[in-house]
Amino acid sequence: MTTVFDILTVTCFIGLVIAFFQFTDRERSTLLHFLLAGVVFAVANQVGNGGHFYLAAILVLAGIGYAALGARR
């Protein structure tokens, strides 16, 4: 891990795993929502490493928001 976005997105992904096991009912639909958020974090990492910092930050925030909505469901 060499960039800020590597550390940030891996931390968010670890947070997704912890949230899935601690705060959800572990259903398949919840897992699919979290999977989508994980894909958004991966894309944000690549975009951030490509030099588009603002777009990557927006994607990270969108992924966090979507995961929070998926966990509340």
pLDDT single digits (tens) 49-60: 999 999 999 999
What pLDDT is attached to residue 5? Answer: 92
Q: Which amino acid does the sequence have at 15?
A: G
Show the low-confidence residues of the chain (pLDDT under 50): none
Q: State the burial class of residue 28 (Cβ atoms within 10 Å of its Cβ: 0-12, 13-18, 19+).
A: exposed
Take residue 73 and report the two structure tokens written for it. 């469901």
Query: CA 7, CA 26: separation in Å to the nearest integer?
Result: 26
User: Are the beta carbons of 60 and 49 closer than 8 angstroms?
Assistant: no
